[in-house]
Structure formats: structure tokens, C-alpha cells
Amino acid sequence: MVRIIDRRFDSKKKSTVNRQRFMRRFKRQIRRAVSDAIEGRSIRDLDSGEEIAIPAKDLSEPSFQQGREGIWEQVFSGNDRFASGDQIDRPLGGEGGAGSGKASNEGESEDDFVFQLSREEFLDIFFEDLALPNLVRTQLAKLTEFKTQRAGFTSDGVPTNINVVRSLRGALGRRMALGGPLSQRVREIDREIEALREDELTNAEAIRRLREERSALLVRIEAIPFIDRFDLRYNNRVRVPKPVTQAVMFCVMDVSGSMDEEKKSTAKRFFMLLYLFLQRNYEHIEVVFIRHHTIAKEVDEDEFFHSRESGGTVVSSALRLMTDIVTERYNPGAWNIYGAQASDGDNWDNDSPICHQILDEELLALCRYFAYIEITAGEPQNLWRVYEGLAEAHPNFAMQRIESLEDIYPVFRELFKKEPA
């Protein structure tokens, strides 16, 4: 008999620690690879992990080896044409037989080391060191408020929490399990005695013995307690921290005619990134999507990212709508309010001062942070010029320009980088 040990259910993921060590060690390279990853593909895909390539030479482990020069002798198999003393041209690039063995000595042509990051790992790195700025109440109120909520039953607790129904149901089950076989035997004995009664004289001894057994059984049944300590069940309540910080993010996107497909897709990617970031890092956050051309409209997530409606440009309409929504639904006393606006900056000329005014006088006082992203390849547009004055007067206003897809990630990091505590 051989010893076969079934290890299939042993702890898996033995390599997890080593994997983490690897990640930690090559964090810099991985982060670079991750920021490369958002170029050229939809940010939606980021949600599902990512294949990462980092240069193999960065993670090679050196050892003493012989170089290629000098005399090398190698034996090959399958001779089909050579005779001793033949001269062969040196093969180029290790092709064919003779060069291949030696090429590996210095590992000149190493490919990138490619591996799969899980979604968690990927997003961890992606959003590392980012946070919503000026999020006030989280820090203060984080630990103070709890609410209790039910979490099933336990076998341990204080008497006030005893759940009577559960406890008695348990006791009943236990009594049936322990006493059932005994009662059954008692009924059997009763039947046997009944049968033996037919001839009471000859069976007197047997009847006496059965009666004795019966009374012993009754004693045992009697001894089963009606309720026992381990029948008791207690209502279980756990305290969970109650989030008191409430935050809402307004995503304002310009979909006017001047926003061509490319700009729109850049804006969408920026917002997808933002959306993913919020979803991931903040459990309780609301997002309000506003699209605008000449008129602004509050839309749901799907419509925000995928609708194709378009028109002229009146930016102030969106800001006006945002102010209205804030007044109506989000009391600035109870909510942290954020805004992110993306546009090509090509606003109707007379409208830009109105935008300035709305932000300056109303919105920025309500918001913790408002970011403006202008998506243009060339000169800053009129909205940018109008907004420039705002940044100085309001520290909670930031503006950045995105010229091409590659800028999205750096700009995003710039806008949401964690401030030193």
C-alpha cells in the first residue's frame, strides 16, 4: 500500500507572497507599464485586469557567465551534409544550427517579460496615491458613528438577546433526537407485553423483565432536560461604521458640434477613469452626469458615455443646471461636492463671462473642488482664458489641458494627487 497523500485541498496560493514581492520590487516599471496601458484602448477595459510587459533586462538576475568570444565547440544531431573539415559560413542572427546554442549565453535578444495583473492589482497601482481633495468630514467623522445591524444568531450572548423561538426549536430537536429511539423502544415493549399477556403464567418472567426495562427507559426519557444550555440562541447584532461623509461628483461634458469624435472620446476616457476611481476608492459616492451643448441635461451613466446627440455650445447651461441640482438635492452642509468639467473650450463668446460669473459667485463656494479639463491640441480657447483668473482667487479650482490621449493619465494624477497630510 503506497502512501498517497491528497494535497489538493491544502492551502493554495503558496506563491502569493512571492508574487507580492515581485510586484513591490518592480513597482516603478509596472506603474510605467500601467500608464502606457491607457493609451489606445478604452478605459472601460481596465476594469478587467491587464497584461503588463516590463523590460526583461530590468529583472534579469546576473551571474558569472562566459562571453561569446573565444573558441566554442558544440555537438549537433542530424548531420545530413557535412564532412569533417568542412568550412561553414557563420549563420546570421543565430539562425540555423551553429549559432543558436551560443546566442543564449549573453541573452542579447530578450523579449519583454509579460504577465497578467489581476484587476485588483492593476487598479491598486492605477489609482495609487490619488484622492479627492479637501474631503473634509471623512477624517473627522470616520470612527464616531456606528449603527448596529442584525447578523444572524450566535450560541453565545447576554440573556436579553435570547431568541426564544430559535432556542426552543433547538431544544425540541434535541429532545426528539435523544428521546426518540427510547420512546420507540417503550412502544415496542408495550406491544410485546400485550402479546405475552395471552399466556400470562408461562411468560411471567419475560413480562417482568420487559416491565423492568420499560421503567428504566422511562427514567432515561425523564432525564432528558427540556432545555439545555447549548440550545440557547442569541440574536446577533454587529456594529458597522456608518458613513457620514457624503460626496457627490458632477461630471460635466461638452458634446457640442465643435467637439469632434476624437475629443469626445478623450473626454469620455477621462470621465471613465474618474468614474472608475470614484467607484473603487469611495464606497458611498454619488455621481451626477451632465451633458450639454446649447442646453444641458442630466443623464444616466449609459447615456452619458454612449449617447450621440450633439449641437451648439452654451457652457453656462451646464453650470446653471449643476447649481440647480445642488440647491435642490445636495445641501452643501451635508455633502462634499465635486465637479469635473471637460470641454474643448470653444464656447459661444458671450457665454464665457457668464460661466466665469456662475463659478466665481455661486458654484465654487459650494464645491470642495472643481476641475476644468480643456481638450485641445492647439492654442487655449476662450473658456480657458476666462477661467485663468479663477484659479488664483479660488484654491479649490484647478485647470489642466489634455492635448492627446497620452496626457489623460498624467493629468488625472495631477488633478487628484493625494495631498501630503
Q: Which residues bind other proteins (CB under 8 A)?
A: 1-8, 10, 12-15, 17-26, 59-80, 82-90, 96-102, 105-106, 113-116
CB-nearer residue toward other proteins: 69 or 328: 69
Instruction: State the amino acid at position 66 in one-letter form.
Output: Q
The answer to whether the beta carbons of residues 124 and 23 sit under 8 Å apart is: no
Q: How far is the CB of 10 from other proteins (least distance, A)?
A: 7
Q: Judged by CB, which is closer to other proteins: 107, or 181?
A: 107
Sequence-separated (6 or more) residues with CB below 8 Å from residue 321: 290, 292, 296, 297, 298
Q: Rank residues 78 and 378 by Cβ distance to other proteins and give the closer one.
A: 78
Taking Cα atoms as reference points, which of 342, 320, 335, 356 lies closest to residue 407?
A: 342
Closest CB to other proteins among residues 93, 180 = 93
Residue 6 or 194 having the CB closest to other proteins: 6
Q: CA triplet 408, 413, 414: central angle to 5 degrees?
A: 100
Q: C-beta of 417: minimal distance to other proteins in Å?
A: 25
Query: Measured from the CB of residue 98, what is the shortest distance to other proteins in angstroms?
Result: 5
Q: Output the smallest distance, CB 418 to other proteins, in A.
A: 23
CB 29, min distance to other proteins, A: 12
Least gap, CB of 84 to other proteins (angstroms): 5
Nearest to 173 by CA among 111, 224, 222, 243: 224
Encode 218-246 in three state secondary structure.
HHHHHHCCCCCHHHCCEEEEEEEECCCCE
Q: Which is nearer to other proteins, 96 or 180 (CB)?
A: 96
* Cell numbers found for residue 290: 451632465
Quote the cell numbers at residue 418: 493625494
- Provide the pairing of β-strand 234-241 with 146-154: antiparallel
